[in-house]
Amino acid sequence: MPQIIEEPDLIRCEHAKRKGWPSTFRLGSHICVNCDRVRCEFHPPRAKPVICIPQEQPEVIQSSAVTRVEPIFKPKTQVSPKDLTPEEVLENFPSPTLRPYQKDIVVSVVEAFQSGKKCVILAAPTGFGKSYVNAAFTSVTRSFYATPQLALIDQIMRDPYVRSRFVKIRGRRNYQCFLQPDRRVHVGKCITEDYPCKERFDVCPYWRQKMAALNAPSVLTSLAYLISEGQTEGSESYLGTRTLLVLDEAHNLEEQCLNHVSVRVNPFSIPHEVFNQILPELLETHTDADVRSLLESIEARLNMMLERCEKIAQTTGLSTIQAEDLERTRHYLANYQLYKKSKSEWVWQVKNDELLVQPVFGKEFMRDLVWKRGEYYIISSATILDPDEFAESTGLLNFLKADEISFLTVPSTFPVENRPIIDATVGPLSAQYLATNMPKAIRAVEEILRKEKGNVAIHCHSYQHQRNLLDGISEDLKPRVIVHTSRNREEKLNEWMRSRGKVFVSVAFNEGQDWKYDLCDAQILLKVPFPDLGDMRVKKRLELGKRGWYDNRAMLEVIQAYGRAIRAEDDTARFYIVDGSFTRLIHNSWNTTPNWFKEALPASLRRSRPEIDLRHTQTFMPPNEQT
């Protein structure tokens, strides 16, 4: 019979549990639709059926692991953003107290929607609490909350103030097939054996979670899942569109969408067998005509492979590897169709036995990939530097008027003296000056390390710069150094974070890290991370005069790196800049760089400061802080 488990309003059916069925229900749900369908004899037959599981179960990785149910937050109201009042949003604010500026921003976002804006871009630094502001809005309107950062999703789902407000949904790879528990859902029985799985809404953890998401007021998901799920439009399982789409940490939105639509020919994007067949042709690809011919040849081979796989699925069944090949093939062919139909310019390059064909700009695809999922948008990040450029490059201006977009910025609440930027520049480290200036840069790094005895992170930008630094650094400092390769990134990161007094010589760790307090006492920006000039898309954009975009990308990466080690008001960390290219970068990007970053700069790096352009900015700064 049902037994009381840890949460007072939940019951667990031990019989269903033994059977491996979903077994946890809300008290008062006399019978679960799932158990009814499998004729659980322990539930009273006359009790009314209720759909408790799909709406109230949390994400389930293993179908046998259903032991706990989170109550879903029930907002008092669910209205369109244009009809909201500040009071409604503030009543649903997740925490009992508000941090500085949160109330102002809530009021401003509401006023923006009331005045006819469709999109609010919110540039807010770490410490502002933008997740709570976002969650307050997703709680009062039917919404998606999407972010590219999986760590942020985990953080939200661990936070007792907000986790009950969402149903989280992830990609199929994260769930276990109920009928073949040794497989994940993307290679489950329904895929490998062409099995229709009529009971999927009852037993499959993925499909049950998807139903939960369909019925939930607010869905939390990754940007990647939002995009790929959006391609199922027209199917019964499509999560559809919602009134409000919140995109958090959205500063790389265009890049992420471009990666999703690019056509890649490498051993991981198409089946090995096909890749090996076309490799000789790929290595002889030198012209546009060669690329077209190669892509046509791949398409023909993949179509043949698809037919073969479908026959195997109907007879002997596919192996897991074949099923994964099938998934990759479908994704590749979908992107290839986009390429064939596209009206914009694409560029290609062959590098390291890979052919990469990518659009120069992403705006043509953005509506179908992202914007169609909402009617109103809140886009938040610490580093949306140029709202005009963001709106243009992400295709917002393809369907919204410029005056339907509002841009709000928030100052930092972290004392500037806790987060100084220190000028240790030695001259530019760009390719033509590398031989001259790298030895000076290494001496500067050594000097800093002799002063900084705690944990230090060095941002190298590339493995070549990492090697240069390690080759030249003094022997007495080498025992402090922890270095990673592309294969052991997480392992070495964790080793450094567990240690004290060590130096993490890192490549591409400038985003998504939470190096609070003594995890990191100082950071060194060895090289400004300008976009790769060897990338054909970057090259093409520069040819088209997009120098502002190029500088903004670099500045965005610098500011992201700066934010890794300052995570709270009482946190302190120093940020040393070694690459002299920063001087030109800050000069060029002055108008688009947030004030909270500029105020931490030493006088030597603000020498040629022009006036700040606040045209697009509605800033909540006390008058004495305005620059």
Rounded least distance, CB 197 to ligand SF4, Å: 3
How many of the chain's residues bind ligand SF4 (CB under 6 A)? 14
Rounded least distance, CB 242 to ligand SF4, Å: 25
Residue type, 114: Q
Q: Which is nearer to ligand SF4, 197 or 295 (CB)?
A: 197
Give the pair of three-digit tokens for residue 511: 């985003």
Q: Which is nearer to ligand SF4, 137 or 175 (CB)?
A: 175
Q: Which is nearer to ligand SF4, 281 or 324 (CB)?
A: 324
Q: Which is nearer to ligand SF4, 192 or 523 (CB)?
A: 192
The two beta strands, 10-12 and 3-4, are antiparallel
CA atoms within 13 A of residue 187's CA, in its CB half-sphere? 17
User: Which 409-428 residues touch ligand SF4, going by CB under 6 A?
Assistant: none
Rounded-to-10 torsion of CA 207, 209, 210, 216? 150
Beginning with the edge strand found earlier in the chain, give each strand of the sheet holding 263-265 in spatial order. Answer: 263-265, 354-359, 346-351
Q: Which is nearer to ligand SF4, 208 or 363 (CB)?
A: 208
Q: Which is nearer to ligand SF4, 168 or 186 (CB)?
A: 186
Rounded-to-10 torsion of CA 551, 556, 559, 560? -150
Rounded least distance, CB 140 to ligand SF4, Å: 34
- Residue 140: CB atoms within 10 A of its CB come to 27
CB 472 within 8 A of CB 437: no
Rounded distance, CA 541 to CA 157, Å?
Answer: 39
Rounded least distance, CB 309 to ligand SF4, Å: 16
- Tell me the angle at which helices 102-114 and 130-138 cross, rounded to the nearest 10 degrees: 40
For ligand SF4, the binding residue among 5, 79, 107, 179 (CB under 6 A) is: 179
For ligand SF4, the binding residue among 178, 225, 361, 549 (CB under 6 A) is: 178
Interface region with ligand SF4, contact rule CB under 6 A, candidates 25-33, 94-102, 181-189, 396-404: 181-189
Give the pair of three-digit tokens for residue 139: 């709680």
Interface region with ligand SF4, contact rule CB under 6 A, candidates 70-78, 171-179, 427-435, 487-495: 171-179
Check binding of 60 to ligand SF4 (CB under 6 A): no
Residue type, 343: K
Rounded least distance, CB 322 to ligand SF4, Å: 16
**What value, to the nearest 5°, has the Cα angle with vertex 156 and ends 153 and 160?**
155
Using DSSP's 3-state secondary structure scheme, residue 221 falls into: strand
Rounded least distance, CB 186 to ligand SF4, Å: 8
Residues in the chain: 627
Rounded least distance, CB 236 to ligand SF4, Å: 13
Rounded least distance, CB 317 to ligand SF4, Å: 12
User: Which 199-258 residues touch ligand SF4, going by CB under 6 A?
Assistant: 200, 203-204, 206-207
Span between the terminal Cα atoms of the chain, in Å: 68
CB 529 within 8 A of CB 461: yes
Q: Which is nearer to ligand SF4, 178 or 377 (CB)?
A: 178
Q: Which single residue is written with the structure tokens 């925490």?
A: 95
Q: Which is nearer to ligand SF4, 180 or 413 (CB)?
A: 180
Q: Which is nearer to ligand SF4, 209 or 329 (CB)?
A: 209
Rounded (to 5) percent helix, strand, coil in the chain = 45, 15, 40
- Tell me the angle at which helices 581-588 and 547-562 cross, rounded to the nearest 10 degrees: 110
Rounded least distance, CB 176 to ligand SF4, Å: 8
Q: Which is nearer to ligand SF4, 172 or 616 (CB)?
A: 172
User: Which 182-201 residues touch ligand SF4, going by CB under 6 A?
Assistant: 185, 188-190, 195, 197, 200
Residue with CB nearest ligand SF4? 188
- Tell me the angle at which helices 434-451 and 463-472 cross, rounded to the nearest 10 degrees: 70
Rounded least distance, CB 234 to ligand SF4, Å: 19
Which chain residues interact with ligand SF4 by CB under 6 A? 177-179, 185, 188-190, 195, 197, 200, 203-204, 206-207
